[in-house]
Amino acid sequence: MTRLSRYFLPTTREAPADAEAVSHKLTVRAGLARQVGAGFWTWLPAGWRAHRKVEQIVREELDAIGALEMLMPVIQQAETWRRTGRYDIDEVFKLKDRRGADFVLAMSHEENVTWHVSREIRSYRDLPKLLYHFQTKERDEPRPRAGVLRTREFIMKDSYSFDVDPEGLERSYQLHIQAYDRIFDRTGLEWYRVESDVGMMGGFGAHEYMAPCGAGENDVALSSAGYAANVEVASATPRPVDGLPGPLDAPEPVETPGATTVEDVARLLGVPAGAVIKAMPVVADGRGPVLVLVRGDHRLNEIKLQNALGTPARPAEAGEVRSIFNAEPGFIGPVGAPVEVLADEALRGLHGLVTGGNEHDVHLRGVEPGRDFEPTWGDVRRVEEGDTCPNGAPITIEPAIEVGNIFKLGTRYSDPLGARYLDEQGKEQLIWMGSYGIGPARIVAAAIEQHADEQGISWPRAVAPFDVELVTLGKPGEDAREVADRLYDELRDQGLDVLYDDRDGSAGEKFADAELLGCPLRLTIGKRGLEAGEVDVQVRRAQEKRSLPLEGAAAAAAELWASLP
């Protein structure tokens, strides 16, 4: 029996003072969850129902591609994480037991599942395998934010594929793409699949599933030609530089007193920002200092830079810049630079450029890459709106929530953990792996973000905590109450999940809570409707109002609900 008079749904009028994201505000106001501490949340009954509905959609679609559900522990031995090189990741929670043995709280389960496979799989006949589970994950998140979107503890579905070769991995990858596409269609989200960086997971290929919304922590580059990529890895043809100065026979020094920024230099010399070379000295792990160059109207992409260098890098400190270049920061440039130079591809073929002269208050103009300095070339800039995608269409950039990800791990984990099989010739081979994650809490939050209005949440029906909210305006002993009690049972007989507001509050209070919680359909039984032989109906999306005949109302409501988005 789901009657509000007995239910735990602590709605509030005000959002938390620190809440910025719509989903954060409404998750609290609608009584779906409560924060315990920074990055730790308790799902309350209604919020947990929505979470479980998402889980069930995911479970059904993974089962449909032949994946097998299991359950692995949160606490794992540190040794396997050391063998894969992930033990030293800052976000990994580490602990010791009473005997001093090292353990981790898993942020994902590649090590654990690969450990099992390395002991159980012996032959090519045992492959392929698709395994998955739902489990609590722990992540020492430095900046928890946006309610349940970025937390330190969360539930995640992760699945893993095991194949004999790259072709088998590709088949498993495509199976997951099919399953994920159906999952996100069923949840009612607006979404797209984008190219992404493999990050701390490792491997050689990845995609993310993104739900566009204002609270998104990722920026996605899109085009009308179908291009979609996380800005972390997106590539595009840059807009040409308007007003690029003409070429010179050789670089010419020019005094630029106090001009240490691109804007200062461009203004002083009367050139567009795109004609200025932005020079950024970095120190790469195991590689030393590198001078990284991008166009002055572009921004450095740190993920691309790390991929281009093959190692993490940090900005050089002011003292290091003075020591290496014998010049002040702000006047550094590639001509005669005593270090390796890495230039972004957008600088290739340009002329008449301006760059630091490696001398205080001096820049050089008329600089040409390839003539005046010979760099290593790479794509290290962030794409910008107005660039063009590989198919020639303009790029737009919008924020989005990452709700799922898929990775081609290859032998990233099977090699260090010894997951091998014997092929048809009896030779030992490494198993090829894929990893596939979905965050149910993120889907819940994205659904709220995409479908909220000023009154509250407007759930897609597939993930709503309840299908129907039934409101009675009658008091105990009155006809309206008796009819509502009867209709509640009839709606449940139709297979609908019903929240019955049988409280003694005012109509205004009940309607406000109903719109805040946002069940797809609201039915109201009151004296006026009974006299007319009708049930008042509100479709939550767009707040469309109508009525249904009281006779057969449950069946009619079920039919109406099935037609809703």
Which residues are paired to 398 by β-bridges? 220
**The pLDDT value given to residue 349:** 93
Q: Token pair for residue 203? A: 């491997």
- The stretches in the chain having pLDDT less than 70 are 1, 198-204
Contact status, residue 523 vs residue 549, Cβ threshold 8 Å? no
Residues in CB range of 514: below 8 A, 6 or more apart: 469, 471, 501, 522
Beta carbons of 237 and 243 less than 8 angstroms apart: no
Token pair of 439, please?
């965050």
Evaluate whether 90 touches 384 at the Cβ level (below 8 Å): no
CA angle 512, 517, 520 (to 5 degrees): 105
CA distance 114 to 431: 10
For residues 35 and 320, give the distance between their C-alpha atoms in angstroms, rounded to a whole number. 44
Instruction: Give the integer Cα–Cα distance in Å for 256 and 94.
Output: 52
CA distance 413 to 200: 12
Contacts of 8 (CB under 8 A, 6+ apart): 31, 44, 45
What does pTM read for this prediction? Answer: 0.88
- pLDDT at res. 202: 56
Rounded CA-CA distance 270/3 in Å is: 71
State the pLDDT at residue 347.
97
Look at residue 200 in the predicted model and tell me its pLDDT.
55
The single residue listed with the structure tokens 């009867």 is 486
Query: What pLDDT shows up at residue 435?
Result: 96
- In this structure, what are the phi and psi dihedrals at residue 261, rounded to the nearest 5 degrees? -120, 160
> Which letter does DSSP use for residue 350 in this model?
-
For residue 309, the model assigns a pLDDT of 93
What is the pLDDT, as a whole number, of residue 146?
87
Dist. CA 475–CA 529, nearest whole Å: 15
